[in-house]
Structure 1
């Protein structure tokens, strides 16, 4: 395999891919309002140039609905019947919290805090983006109970899928190999280095090694987080056929769940030789790594010659 095959496509950094502005189930949630005085305002997590919609059960009074300190940070607030639409001009700072008061047609005032898409979980920061929030005042209404049931089912299905995935990974040869690569135990694997590349986009510095194996291929990314504020983590890894764009299974292991500002970590990815077969013939694959905020961080072409015995 020639080095130039990789040089054209090895690392493509953050500007290539942004989060879609169209809400999906991952970025949609429900809020049930509480009358308890101890409960503070709900947070709304927004991202620069991505629309977030708050949807209520009754019309919203636009003259009494406002965001404090929005100038230079958000586009002017838009109210359409029972919807409040937010669109940040740019990403908010992690410590930002813009007060939003939504006044419903019956005079009820609902307070929120407009925040960047980062949620504190124990000792880590995890990404969270709201693209649609369904807000229910009447917890006994059909719509409210239906939303609560849908949320519970979605969480249960996600946990079930996660448990099934963990069980499969415990006995997976590819995941075991990825764990060895991530830990630096290259000598205990069947892989040999086929190519090396480096890249830096200002926020992230990556050195990449592409490996040839016996019926398998692998990529190891050594990541240094140069961002002074946000931790770096992987949102997803995709392996697809170059021509048809069909997804292929891939094993992923990382030394850290999140890389804190100034820190470093290793991401190891292993693809079985069967992933390179399409309609009985060998085909090249695209490996895509998306980081915490949905931006595509790395883009690697894997040639079938990597799995040659």
Structure 2
């Protein structure tokens, strides 16, 4: 067994997306229910450069009395279109930036918002309900509750299946540094650094009985300000892009800035190389939340793994 290989000759070729330097954010839609209490906190609206954020209300807005303070040179003019208000910054804001937006509805009610930014997401659409008891607000709450119930049912079903999965059990042990409690043997290790500050150490492992492959990713977030979160992982055949099943376990959901580290472990059956055209290489892809692109990907060669 070789413990470490130079980056260019390693079995695990770790590629880090060059576009990772771009401060891309994930668009989201959410609902805001306002309070009539005088001390209620002014809600924030999170925007991204050259992207339109839509605030949607139950009543039309008053174009003449809807305005944002200090927007000149930083935003396109705020637009009222029926029941919608459109906000578009000319470039990204910093999280410490804040602009006061006052939306006046057709009934004269004034609604203040703080327009700002956050690192990983921005508001594509914000549904605003000034009155929590209107028919629209109650319907929105009911729809959310039903959607949340479906999500929880799906998650519970997935957890039940994973609880009886050998691959998930093995991945959990590897993520917790319990290699000796598994049948896996280390094959190769490779190290790469991301321009945004992520340091990724990848270890490939195999076992004969059962005939499986594992990848353990030790990730350290060296960014001084940004959190690293895994949005999705995929195992695909090189060339065709056909996806393969695998089990994944991680020590945490996100990695805080300033050097926080943790592990992601992936386990799959070696027969993943045998489907259809029998690809010689599989690709493990990692998608970081907020970027929308592959943050890193790892090539796994069946022959160099000894399969």
CA distance, structure 2, for counterparts of residue 91 and residue 7 of structure 1:
39
Which residue pairs with 2:36 in the alignment? Answer: 35
CA distance, structure 1, for counterparts of residue 266 and residue 58 of structure 2:
46
Query: Is 2:290 aligned against 1:286?
Result: no
2:214 aligns with one of 189, 194, 218: 218
Displacement after TM superposition at 1:274 (Å): 4.4
Which residue pairs with 1:52 in the alignment? Answer: 53
Displacement after TM superposition at 1:276 (Å): 3.8
Alignment of 1:91-240 (within 5 A): 91-117=92-118, 129-189=122-182, 190-214=184-208, 215-240=211-236
TM-score, with length taken from structure 2: 0.79
Displacement after TM superposition at 1:110 (Å): 1.3
Which residue pairs with 1:298 in the alignment? Answer: 296
Q: 1:294 to 1:159 in 2, by over 3 A?
A: farther
Which residue pairs with 2:63 in the alignment? Answer: 62
Displacement after TM superposition at 1:169 (Å): 2.6
Query: Is 2:14 aligned against 1:10?
Result: yes
CA distance, structure 1, for counterparts of residue 68 and residue 300 of structure 2:
49
Matched pairs, number: 296
CA distance, structure 2, for counterparts of residue 300 and residue 213 of structure 1:
19
Deviation readout 1:143-169 (Å, 9 max, x if unpaired)? 333322211112222222223333333
Q: Is the 8 A contact 2:283 2:298 kept in 1?
A: yes
Which residue pairs with 1:253 in the alignment? Answer: 249
TM-score, with length taken from structure 1: 0.79
Q: Tell me, what secondary structure is at the counterpart of 1:153? A: helix
Structure index of larger Rg: 2
Which sections of structure 1, spanning at least 5 residues, go unmatched?
119-126
